[in-house]
Structure 1
Amino acid sequence: MLDIGLLPLSIRRYAEGNDVSALKLKRRCSVYRITSSDSTYCLKIAHARERLQREARMLQFLAGDGLAPQPICFEPDGEREYLLMEIVPGHDAADNRYMADPAKLCDTYAESLTLLHSLKTKDCPMQNRLEDMVQRAEENFRNGHCDRSLLRYLDCADPVAAFDELTAIFRYVGWDREVVIHGDYCLPNVMFHHWRLSGIIDVGYGGVGDPHYDLFWGMWSLQFNLGDVRWMHRFLDVYGRHLIDPDKLRLCGLISAFNGFRGQDYYTAE
């Protein structure tokens, strides 16, 4: 149960006297819907340093192009961070109404990513480049961290061999295309309204980066949710095979295995 009296004053005035319901209750981050007589909002509450300020800045940037909800207020209190934003209409792409038509879902999902990757990078306030990702991956590898479920997905059982492959690919791949990336491009983070993109959410890992990172997670999410590799291949076809470097795609998968599940810094110990 959310104690409204503990919210920062700038957030509290939106919640007091209105209906507040939980959408997600997790250890790291909780999400609530606030419904008043004339408006609906989304409130995220996370432990300090959980990237909500970064997310607020990315939302502001993306909202300018109509691709994300407008942030209303960001407040830290030392222990927690609070991000209040507009609600996104519709349902996420993992909803059964969209999963029931996987071909159309793949097409719309790929077209939405193309739209995101077509934005100009000049004014994007954040960065999440491969060089920084590789540096984090190396630190995590040295500390013995990896997501073994992702290694299995990549058909690579040995973390040492996986990291050696990562560094080998990183030495020779080119850096000819950077775009605005989501950083966790999975079906639950893409919102559709009557099959049209209504917004992307959870953009705390977004910024200027390599498009293959989003492509890897888009592929993974389709296979995970639909359970069939053919939809993953359709997704790549619609996005454009001529834009895809298989080595970079592999590199982004290996990076993800060391940097944590869907870009988050926690790991399975299997």
Structure 2
Amino acid sequence: MKIDELICSFPKELKELLEGCRYEENKVGCSDTMVYKVIGKDGKDNRYLKVSSNKFENFNYEVDLLNWINGKLPVPRVLYHGHSGEYEFFLMSEICGKDSSVIDENTDKVKVAKALARGLRVIHSVPIKHCDFDQSLETKLKIAEYNVENHLVDEEDIKSSDPNITPEKILKELQYNRPNSEDSVLTHGDYCLPNIILDKDYNISGFIDWGRGGVSDRHQDIGIGCRSIKKNLGEEMVPVFLEEYGLDKIDYSKIDYYILLDELF
């Protein structure tokens, strides 16, 4: 849908908030959610707008989690959340900087990998005593099972690495090889490079896209982080990331497990 058509569906309050703004569609990522960069009248005060129809994800969980995290971590502020007809709208503030997947010949990949590790340690250090956002393995496996049963897994994507694999086979393997324990921390849930914003000096500006965040095993983030670093920075940067993160002992079996689990999301 074109943005001009979508604007006609905006609730009154959202129209007033965004009057006179321009829109740039953000096509990074694989979600069916529509994402727009909203550019303010003077080119400043930029924001981001997520739009979903009823058949796709809803934003209630992410909105509530961001409100809980705000003040604990550098994350977007929730500016508006509401519905109109078949659409749900979620407006948030912009985290200034560039996402860490933007690589060119001048990028210091070692500094990026180390910044990602330091950022992850910051997330994992947030106290979880009063955090009610459950992303435990029990919960994630139930969601994975639902996704498989309802044909919500991108089979073409998972078959790109193994033409004989199926979502059902992955789910059985995950259930059979389930880890015996969880090292629970606050996790981002999708700790890949496009979701980590850096400033020009390779410092963390903030973390975006928290729809799968919550209390989970730290290897959820470490696994997705390793996979994303390998893809964007090169495999040789993975040890740099892990060393900077500072685990006394690296559980590669858990890293592989959570990477495989992510195939069903």
TM-score of the aligned structures, taking structure 2 as reference length? 0.84
Select the residue among 173, 185, 188 that pairs with 2:194.
188
Query: Residues of 1 paired with 2:111 and 2:189: CA distance?
Result: 23
Conserved? CA contact 1:68–1:201, under 8 Å:
yes
Q: Which amino acid aligns with 1:28?
A: T
C-alpha distance after superposition, 1:91-138 (max 9, x if no partner): 111112698211111000111011011101133342211111122333
Q: Which amino acid aligns with 2:33?
A: R
Distance 1:27 1:132, change over 3 A: closer
Please state whether the residue corresponding to 1:81 is helix, strand or coil.
strand
User: Could you say which residue in structure 2 is the equivalent of 1:268?
Assistant: none
User: Could you say which residue in structure 2 is the equivalent of 1:216?
Assistant: 223
Distance 1:23 1:80, change over 3 A: same
How far apart are 1:165 and its partner, in Å? 3.3
- 1:79 is aligned to 2:82: no
User: Could you say which residue in structure 2 is the equivalent of 1:10?
Assistant: 13
Select the residue among 58, 66, 90 that pairs with 1:59.
66
Select the residue among 225, 238, 253 that pairs with 1:247.
253
Query: Residues of 2 paired with 1:251 and 1:150: CA distance?
Result: 15
Please state whether the residue corresponding to 1:13 is helix, strand or coil.
helix
Please state whether the residue corresponding to 1:84 is helix, strand or coil.
strand
How far apart are 1:8 and its partner, in Å? 1.0
- 1:30 is aligned to 2:30: no
Select the residue among 9, 13, 22 that pairs with 1:19.
22
- What is the number of residues matched between the two proteins? 255
How far apart are 1:150 and its partner, in Å? 4.8
- 1:235 is aligned to 2:236: no
User: Could you say which residue in structure 2 is the equivalent of 1:266?
Assistant: none
Distance 1:187 1:80, change over 3 A: same
- The percent of aligned pairs where both chains have the same amino acid is 27
Distance 1:151 1:231, change over 3 A: farther
How far apart are 1:240 and its partner, in Å? 2.1
How far apart are 1:148 and its partner, in Å? 6.3
How far apart are 1:23 and its partner, in Å? 3.1
Query: Residues of 1 paired with 2:245 and 2:32: CA distance?
Result: 35
Please state whether the residue corresponding to 2:38 is helix, strand or coil.
strand
Conserved? CA contact 1:99–1:105, under 8 Å:
no
How far apart are 1:164 and its partner, in Å? 4.0
Query: Residues of 2 paired with 1:75 and 1:231: CA distance?
Result: 41
Distance 1:80 1:161, change over 3 A: closer
TM-score of the aligned structures, taking structure 1 as reference length? 0.83
Gaps of 5+ in 2: none
Select the residue among 148, 173, 190 that pairs with 1:165.
173
Query: Residues of 1 paired with 2:212 and 2:160: CA distance?
Result: 24
How far apart are 1:252 and its partner, in Å? 1.1
Conserved? CA contact 1:29–1:47, under 8 Å:
no
Conserved? CA contact 1:127–1:209, under 8 Å:
yes
